[in-house]
Structure 1
Amino acid sequence: MNTDKTYQGSCFCGAVQFTASGEPEAMGYCHCESCRHWSASPVNAFTLWKPSAIEITQGAEQIGSYNKTDQSYRKWCKQCGGHIMTEHPGMGLTDIYAALLPELVHKPGVHVHYQETALHIYDGVPKFRDAPAEIGGSGVSVPE
């Protein structure tokens, strides 16, 4: 019997709907310029999932994709333009924007690309110049 929690999410208009099952591999904030521009926000609250934990339950044909780099394939709804998720093939993980999973309590464990921050956050959560070494970054931390 599968007792994993399943979280429901959708794009802005609801044409694309999806679920994420279990718990994310990581949660945090990304401060990189690409995420800030894509999300039209000073910081992106992320939840990282194994692709096998995510299922598109409606509107797969409405999903558009754009990749500025090979590290991030950003997905959105073609109908409303609402951003949905970003696939990170190099990490083998997919970022579902935290705001799209309203039942998931966002518990950030890390700030990444903090050297590019446009919004300083003083929360005691570790901050990295780029990313932790275990996911391919330098592992260099920076002060709040």
Structure 2
Amino acid sequence: MSEHHTGGCFCGVVQVEVEGKPEAMGYCHCESCRHWSAGPVNAFTLWKPEAVRITRGEDALESFEKTRASRRRWCRHCGGHVLTEHPGMGLVDVYAALLPDLDFTPQLHVHYQESVLRIPDGLPKMKDVPAELGGSGETLEE
């Protein structure tokens, strides 16, 4: 039996469902995620696109692409962030906070060289992203 997790935007107009298990879970410290989330770090869950489905309110989704690396999507009614598509990686980030019943088990920190909040939790700290996702694969000290 496959796992299903559901969540939605701040007002609930947009609903999203993910199926199966995420490809990765962790924390992003990049400047773009920090500015987008208005927080010092962003908790992510990465999924293959076919595992993510907007089940309600797709017509309420707006998007913005600061770079070709990320297409950020949010609800135009409440401004609530829903997901970020990463076409170069072939993955979709459904923010961990939107999936309350998912057992969020972070595996790593990415873009740690841009960190403004150091988190000494014993997880690997990637300079950017793993090599298999197009990064250097370099790790940093905690």
* TM superposition score category, shorter chain reference: over 0.9
Partner of 1:52: 50
Aligned to 1:99: 97
Which secondary structure state, in structure 2, belongs to the residue aligned with residue 94 of structure 1? strand
Query: Using the alignment, how far apart are the partners of 2:49 and 2:116 within structure 1?
Result: 30
Secondary structure at the counterpart of residue 123 of structure 1:
coil
Structure 2 partner of 1:89: 87
Letter in 1 for 2:68: D
Aligned counterpart, 2:68: 70
TM-score, with structure 2 as normaliser = 0.99
| C-alpha distance in structure 2 between counterparts of 1:139 and 1:51, whole Å | 23
How far the C-alpha of 1:18 sits from its partner, in A, is 1.2
Provide the residue aligned with 1:29 in structure 2. Answer: 27
- Alignment correspondent of 1:42: 40
Unaligned ranges ≥5, structure 2: none
Q: What is the alpha-carbon distance in structure 2 between the residues aligned to residue 68 and residue 83 of structure 1?
A: 15
SS of the residue aligned with 1:74?
A: strand
Count of aligned pairs between the two proteins: 142
Scaled by the length of structure 1, what TM-score is found?
0.97
- The corresponding residue for 2:135 is 137
The SS at the match of 1:115 is helix
Residue 9 of structure 1, CA deviation: 0.6
Residue segments in structure 1 that go unaligned for 5+ positions in a row:
none
The whole-number CA distance in structure 1 between the counterparts of 2:44 and 2:93 is: 6
Amino acid corresponding to residue 137 of structure 1 in structure 2: G
CA RMSD of aligned residues (A): 0.5
TM-superposed CA distance for 1:132, in Å, is: 1.0
1:108-127 correspondence runs (5 A): 108-127=106-125
The residue matched to 1:36 in structure 2 has which SS?
helix
